[in-house]
Amino acid sequence: MQLTELTATEQSALLAKGELSARELIEATLRRIEAVEPRIGAYNTVMAEQALAGADAADAARRAGTAGPMAGIPIAVKDNICTLDSPTTCSSRILAGYVSPYEATVVTKLKAAGYIPIGKANMDEFAMGSSNENSATRTVANPWDLTRVPGGSSGGSVAAVAAGEATVALGSDTGGSIRLPASYCGVVGLKPTYGMVSRYGLVAFASSLDQIGPISRSVADNARLLQAIAGHDPRDSTSLPGSPTDFAAQLTAGVKGLRVGVPAEMMGDGVAPDVTATVQRAIAALKEQGAEIVEVSLPHSQYALPIYYLICTAEASSNLARYDGVRYGPRAADAQDLEDLYVRSRSAGFGPEVKRRIMLGTYALSAGYYDAFYGRAMQGRTLIIQDFVRAFAAVDVLISPTAPDTAFKLGEKVNDPLSMYLADVMTTTVNLAGLPSLSVPGGFDRLGLPIGIQLIGPAMGEPLLYRVAATLESTLGVSERRPTL
């Protein structure tokens, strides 16, 4: 196995023993990027000079005995997370040329732990999409099959990890944007409890749903990255108080005695046979390891997609009003007045999907329609939250497919927004309820495409999710497979 295919845990062990330097690891990763990036398109910006300088600093810190726990590990950062003195474009023309004058709290924290940002990852524009075909820069390809989508909106972050262009990555998840591509590309992706990770420095899409989360090749790597970025931040008013727990402490505890719930609504019609069979194998593996399997119901999950798309578009309409050609990005020339400047700048700067969601959200919030659409959606959100409360009174964790199918062909759904939105049918309920959810590789379909298993926990239940995911990782034996490029 090549150096760039190793997990962060394996790489850090070599670094600690002096068998590998941070510079050697960063140089190997940059060579990998140069070799495969023309076919993948995972990055908007590669920060080679900064990464090499960070590697030299990590090597010096290790010699001095002051290195962070993950000193030297290369990480990709989704391009909606601000990085100091480097571009943050959200893969949108309206932020072309924008260089952030500050960095997100998560970037400060991951640097303190020793991770080295190596580039800004491609994404669906403003995190709006399920395929990464909405990027204004270029479409990202799935490393397992270059004719298929990697999933979105964190497609660049996930593809970079799957292709060996970064060891780990940060993404953001508003309705499945970490977990869906993690499933499509065969890696581990976590959407943390709402407020577990600071959103300061994350460009907002839907503020009550957005969460930054870790992407990795192994469950242990994921837990360690979450450990680095989690915790209270006074600059984020929604940040949870207190210090994070030790997320990796229970990785080897097993699942004996745990009650694992299977939501009937997530295992029925519309799920591909290969996906159903993979989830059933995972359930059987947990049962064999001593878990109790319990069927549960989330009756209002059937309404999750319309509820989600009303709330997220309404919040997007509000959040994206700041992009007007005055303060950020390109400004339209020859505008006749201020209103014309707004119209021209936004028409040229936003892509079709972003425009669609802004219009839907503006309509849902408009006078005479607010109660009928946004108000009722918020009532439905409460019902979904109550469904989870009842479910977790009976079980410890839930299991389901991450997605109803494996990665679809590039261009297959780009002109069918409703079909594209249905890719999120398994994931949106979690964001509406603010709960943690993790996708772990479960197997492959008959075409050799990855299938993800979704685990859902109660609020602050990340250690439990990692405990179950580590059991699946060790018993299913699929996580060590890598795509051939």
Q: What is the 3-state secondary structure (H, E, C) of the chain?
A: CCHHHCCHHHHHHHHHCCCCCHHHHHHHHHHHHHHHHHHHCCEEEECHHHHHHHHHHHHHHHHHCCCCCCCCCEEEEECCECCCCCECCCCCHHHCCCECCCCCHHHHHHHHHCCEEEEEECCCHHHCCCCCCCCCCCCCCECCECCECCCCCCHHHHHHHHCCCCCEEEEEECCCCCHHHHHHHCCEEEECCCCCECCCCECCCCCCCCEEEEEECCHHHHHHHHHHHECCCCCCCCCCCCCCCCCCCCCCCCCCCCEEEEEHHHCCCCCCHHHHHHHHHHHHHHHHCCCEEEEECCHHHHHHHHHHHHHHHHHHHHHHHHCCCCCCCCCCCCCCCHHHHHHHHHHHHCCHHHHHHHHHHHHHHCCCCCHHHHHHHHHHHHHHHHHHHHHHHHCCEEEEECCCCCCCECCCCCCCHHHHHHHHCCCHHHHHHCCCEEEEEEEECCCCCEEEEEEECCCCCHHHHHHHHHHHHHHHCCCCCCCCC
CATH value at residue 105: 3.90.1300.10
Using an 8 Å Cβ cutoff, are 11 and 111 in contact?
Answer: no
- Nearest CA among 134, 44, 42 for reference residue 413: 134
For residue 290, being part of any structural domain is answered with: no
Residue 232, in any domain of the structure: yes
What are the Cα distances from residue 27, in Å, to 24, 33, 57? 5, 10, 14
CB atoms within 10 A of CB 174: 28
Strand partners, 142: 145
Q: How many domains is the chain partitioned into structurally?
A: 1
Residue in the structure block whose two tokens are 């845990």:
9
Let me know if residue 85 belongs to a domain. yes
pLDDT digits 0-9 by tens, 94-139:
999 899 999 999 999 999 999 999 999 999 999 999 999 999 999 9
Which residue among 12, 78, 100, 135 is the active-site one?
Answer: 78
- Torsion angle of alpha carbons 121, 126, 128, 133, nearest 10°? -50
At residue 367, the pLDDT reads 82
pTM attached to this predicted model: 0.97
Domain contains 13: yes
Q: Report d(CA 382, CA 366) in Å as an integer.
A: 22
Q: Identify whether the C-beta of residue 131 lies closer than 8 Å to the C-beta of residue 149.
A: yes
For the chain, 485 residues long, give each residue's pLDDT as a single digit of tens: 689 999 999 999 999 999 999 999 999 999 999 999 999 999 999 999 999 999 999 999 999 999 999 999 999 999 999 999 999 999 999 999 899 999 999 999 999 999 999 999 999 999 999 999 999 999 999 999 999 999 999 999 999 999 999 999 999 999 999 999 999 999 999 999 999 999 999 999 999 999 999 999 999 999 999 999 999 999 999 999 988 889 999 899 999 999 999 999 998 888 999 999 999 999 999 999 999 999 999 999 999 999 999 999 999 999 999 998 888 778 888 889 999 999 999 999 999 999 999 999 999 998 888 888 999 999 999 999 999 999 999 999 999 999 999 999 999 998 888 889 888 999 999 999 999 999 999 999 999 999 999 999 999 999 999 999 999 999 999 988 999 98
Which residue is catalytic, options 130, 131, 153, 437?
153
Chain center to CA of 204 = 14
Residue from 177, 317, 345, 479 carrying the catalytic annotation: 177
* Gap between the Cα atoms of 69 and 97, Å rounded: 34
Residue 233 lies in a domain: yes
User: Does residue 294 fall inside a structural domain?
Assistant: no
- 153 upstream amide cis, omega within 30 of 0: yes
Pairwise CA distance, residues 70 & 84, whole Å = 21
Paired residues of 439 in beta bridges? 189, 454
* Residue 237 counted as domain residue: yes
177 assigned to active site: yes
| 183-193 confidence digits (pLDDT tens) | 999 999 999 99
Nearest 10 degrees: Cα torsion 164, 277, 396, 461: 20
User: Do residues 149 and 142 lie in contact, with contact meaning Cβ atoms separated by under 8 Å?
Assistant: yes
Evaluate whether residue 41 is within a structural domain: yes
For the chain, the C-alpha Rg in angstroms (whole number) is: 21
Domain that holds residue 57: 3-250
CA torsion angle 229 230 235 239 (round to 10): 150
Residue 298 to residue 278: CA distance in whole angstroms: 21
What is the model's pLDDT at position 415?
Answer: 87
Other CB atoms within 10 Å distance of the CB of residue 340: 12
Examine the residue annotation and report whether 91 is marked as an active-site residue of this protein. no
Instruction: Give the number of residues written for the chain.
Output: 485
Task: Please tell me the predicted confidence (pLDDT) of residue 1.
Answer: 67
